[in-house]
Structure 1
Amino acid sequence: MEISENALIKGIKRFEAPSDRVIRGIGDDGAVVDMEQGSYVFVQDAMTEHIHFEFAFMEGYDIGRKAVYINVSDILAMGALPLYFMVTIGIPAKMSYRDIQQIYKGMRRAAKEFDILLLGGDTTETKTDFFIDVSMVGKIVTRHYFGRNRAGKGDLIAVTGVLGESAYGLSLLKEGRTDRGLMRFIRRYRAPQPPYAVWKELVKHDITTSMMDVSDGLIIDLEKMMAESKKGARINLDQVPMPRLLKKESKESLALAGGEDYQFLFTFPPHKREALSSITEMGFPISIIGKVDTGKGVRLFEKGKEKKIAQKGYEHFGDTA
């Protein structure tokens, strides 16, 4: 395609019909709709063979789990709890009934972890490649939805967990490195369970102003957040959490642009810093990596000096930005 994914989404947004019931529409991890019983979030995320995964690297069970996890991640990032989901799968002739069973077993496992129910969906035939497309609904449980458009001037920028583990796991599989000591990275790639426990603490202490999950890469995702919030950001690369092995092997770019971390990137006001510290003291890994300002885009600094990087993350319909 001749345009980027972001440009395509902007073009599609022009077809969005305005409604008083739609609190947040196209341009976020999910859409927020106001109903009589409260506000609900609707998300949809697909995985396509040869684009998002290879059967050589992932079994059907892992694909099923991951398909649910990435949608749960979007629901949580909007400040909601997941409730129900539906799934459509495209099945090529090369796949067996057992293959499909394993995928649904993986989905059932992930659904049980978050107490969500499969309601149905659709099945269709494809000529060559398998795909799985999950739609999910959740209910807002926070004071307001999180979203990408609520970052404020002076807010601090933070991220949960460690970045680059999933991308490093994929690189290990491509290199045929499956040593026992490296399997945790491969497991993170195959089954990126959202950090639900730390999310609950962030919600409990009412800390965040905006939030999204890191799916395409830290830098490109932060650029999306700042664009939606009409703000800029300064990031201290020295504070970005990553595995020691990435630095040892000079693969720091995987933490900045590798993607598929499914950790939470969020902003919060400085006066909430003490509350955030109380969460980290409980053992939850959270790193403050920067600050929101009135500029435009994302500026990167390392050891006090501004730095430019060529690779910012993954974008469909084009090379990595």
Structure 2
Amino acid sequence: MYFCSMIEDKNQKKTSLEELGEFGLIEHLTKSFESKQESTLKAIGDDAAVLDLKDKKTILSTDLLIEGVHFDLSYMPLKHLGYKAIMVNLSDIYAMNAIPTQITVSVAVSNRFPLEALEELYAGIELATKTYNVDLVGGDTTSSKTGLLISVTAVGVANEADITYRNGAKPNDLLVVTGDIGGAYMGLQVLEREKEVYKVNPNSQPDLEPYSYIIERQLKPEARKDIVELLEKLEVKPTSMIDISDGLSSEVLHLCKQSQVGCDLYEDKIPLDPTVISSCEEFGIDSTLVALSGGEDYELLFTVDQEDFDKIKGNPNLTVIGHMTDKSLGANMVTRSGSKIGLTAQGWNSFGA
């Protein structure tokens, strides 16, 4: 881990983007990308990409990441940023129970970024495309007066019968979450703390080994491709699904609102990694609050019919954390003491102060 980005490395070779121009820059950054999807007929190099998706339904998702709002380059390596930018979008495709196939990437950069910085960014993007078997088929580059902006659009495919929306949950459906929750937020807390220490003493070298799991959850999250494949293997079709980007409580409320149901979420069932628990104790933060409101975990939250319980029980990737109820009962968390409190959306808000 380091607390000064490569764009400020005085010994780093810096090639001005003006030397290449827009089209030369795109060609340079994408020359090593290879198309592997049969549906990619034409990728980069023309006015538009050409895709042949045949009889599948097309899924689209897009996200915009802005320096100073969504990421801090003082501790976010550019290669990690490129990788994470793709994960953010692929997670949305998986949340539809679909398979991502192509992406487009557009970037706006200020003149403080040399070519070598963008090469690092695109190295992360390329690693993500290879790991998740998606093709980069287009994008745009332009200048910016406010730092770095990244816009990614993901294309996915699915059979119509397999697509899962947010509005299909029914009373008595089980509420299920993948993986564990809260790690990304606590990783951010550690990074922010060490950033402040670095400002005071630039020579200090933090020992981040005890926090490696939660820091990776923040800097290099993984989209849950494996869950879509697992559910297909188990012959389980979720009744509703969403990815956890804004905090568990916000996502539960989205499912409740879209499906017109209530829910009982059990506090003692929320899966927490031991590192999350210990770091919450260290920072004096309630671990349940972190799980409910932290965000950026990019796990999947979904509902299944109770008849599918035997298919998913005991699976280490899946945890049943509650069940859906009648809309009139509202969305509640059942605390460890057995009392019920109403769930509120306190997750990430792009337009918050």
* Superposed pair shares fold, TM > 0.5: yes
CA contact (8 A) 2:98 2:162 kept: no
* Distance in structure 2 (CA, Å) of the matches to 1:164 and 1:87: 28
After superposing the two structures, state which structure 1 stretch, 174-183 or 125-134, moved more.
174-183
| 1:251 is the counterpart of 2:286 | yes
* Distance in structure 1 (CA, Å) of the matches to 2:343 and 2:313: 31
Alignment partner for residue 152 of structure 1, among 170, 194, 197? Answer: 170
Alignment partner for residue 264 of structure 1, among 290, 300, 319? Answer: 300
* Distance in structure 2 (CA, Å) of the matches to 1:290 and 1:74: 23
Q: Deviations over 1:257-289 (max 9, x none)?
A: 1000000000001110000026x0xxx321111
CA contact (8 A) 2:88 2:298 kept: yes
CA contact (8 A) 1:219 1:256 kept: yes
TM-superposed CA distance for 1:144, in Å, is: 2.7
Residue equivalent to 1:29: none
Query: Which has more radius of gyration?
Result: 2
* Distance in structure 2 (CA, Å) of the matches to 1:268 and 1:299: 18
Report SS of the residue matched to 1:233.
strand
| 1:66 is the counterpart of 2:84 | yes
| 1:116 is the counterpart of 2:134 | yes
* Distance in structure 2 (CA, Å) of the matches to 1:109 and 1:240: 32
Residue equivalent to 2:146: 128
* Distance in structure 1 (CA, Å) of the matches to 2:182 and 2:110: 32
* Distance in structure 2 (CA, Å) of the matches to 1:150 and 1:310: 21
Residue equivalent to 1:288: 320
The code of the aligned residue for 1:261 comes to D
Residue equivalent to 2:241: 211
TM-superposed CA distance for 1:300, in Å, is: 1.1
Residue equivalent to 1:306: 340
Residue equivalent to 1:193: 222
Residue equivalent to 1:224: 254
Q: Deviations over 1:149-192 (max 9, x none)?
A: 11111101010001001111111101116421211211111111
Task: Give the length in aligned residue pairs.
Answer: 281
* Distance in structure 2 (CA, Å) of the matches to 1:189 and 1:246: 12
* Distance in structure 2 (CA, Å) of the matches to 1:118 and 1:316: 27
| 1:174 is the counterpart of 2:192 | yes
TM-superposed CA distance for 1:311, in Å, is: 6.5
Residues 114 and 154 of structure 1: CA distance in aligned 2, closer, same or farther (over 3 Å): same
CA contact (8 A) 1:79 1:141 kept: no
* Distance in structure 2 (CA, Å) of the matches to 1:195 and 1:65: 14
CA contact (8 A) 1:81 1:141 kept: no
TM-superposed CA distance for 1:316, in Å, is: 2.2
TM-superposed CA distance for 1:233, in Å, is: 1.1
TM-superposed CA distance for 1:220, in Å, is: 0.7
The code of the aligned residue for 2:307 comes to H
* Distance in structure 2 (CA, Å) of the matches to 1:309 and 1:196: 29
* Distance in structure 2 (CA, Å) of the matches to 1:164 and 1:142: 33
| TM-score normalised according to structure 1 size | 0.83
CA contact (8 A) 1:42 1:135 kept: yes
Residues 310 and 114 of structure 1: CA distance in aligned 2, closer, same or farther (over 3 Å): closer
Q: How does 1:5-16 map to 2 (within 5 A)?
A: none
The code of the aligned residue for 2:264 comes to R
Residues 261 and 236 of structure 1: CA distance in aligned 2, closer, same or farther (over 3 Å): same
Report SS of the residue matched to 1:124.
strand
Alignment partner for residue 87 of structure 1, among 105, 114, 117? Answer: 105
* Distance in structure 1 (CA, Å) of the matches to 2:207 and 2:165: 37
Identity %: 28
TM-superposed CA distance for 1:114, in Å, is: 1.1
The code of the aligned residue for 1:220 comes to S
Residue equivalent to 1:9: none
Report SS of the residue matched to 2:161.
coil
Report SS of the residue matched to 1:143.
helix
Unaligned runs of 5+ in 1: 1-34
Report SS of the residue matched to 2:313.
helix
Residue equivalent to 1:184: 213
